[in-house]
Amino acid sequence: MSLRHALLGLLVEHPASGYDLLKTFDTSLANVWPATQSQLYGELAKLADSGLIVVSEQGPRGRKEYTLTDPGLAELRRWLTETEPQRTRSDVLLRVFFLGVLTPQQALDYLDGQAAQAAGLRAELKKLDDAIDWDDADLSVYGRIALEYGQRLAAMQQEWAEWARTQVKPR
């Protein structure tokens, strides 16, 4: 249940509407924590009910701008310092376990696909990295660290997939 904390985190910087937040989820957070529109509006309502955020301004078309409250910030800090990140599932890896039921050629295709996808992501992240003007702000520092993680992960995945294909034995 980290969506609520993702929302709190995004509201630290400045107030925003559900629509604004959705765009952030579809762009910068897309690779880290995807969220759907439905889920997001529902969660915002719950957060407002529990007082962690408030509607600070109403705009045209029923737009509601939410602002983080003190209890909301406290909850975000509590989550960061007192809870452990949960274990992640890896769909990619699960499939690897069972590649033996395919022909070697099909297994190679799968690994090649993974290599290509990782290479694509890697290039995309590199472009993003180059495009951003990193300054010294906190957000910049931690955004940079997160992006570096993504790049290292993509590189690792690509190299692993390329190595893995050499391990597959022709039948």
Q: By the criterion CB under 7 A, which residues form the site for DNA?
A: 1-4, 17-20, 22, 34-39, 41-42, 44-45, 59-64, 89
Question: Helix, strand, coil % (nearest 5) of the chain?
Answer: 70, 10, 25
Smallest distance, Å, CB 60 to a second copy? Answer: 30
Q: How far apart are CA 41 and CA 35, in angstroms?
A: 10
By C-beta, is 94 or 131 nearer to a second copy? 94
DSSP 15-76: -EEHHHHHHHHHTTTTTT----HHHHHHHHHHHHHTTSEEEEEE-GGG-EEEEE-HHHHHHH
Smallest distance, Å, CB 144 to a second copy? Answer: 7
Of DNA, a second copy, none, which one does residue 146 interact with (CB within 5 to 8 Å by kind)?
a second copy
Smallest distance, Å, CB 93 to DNA? Answer: 14
By C-beta, is 35 or 107 nearer to DNA? 35
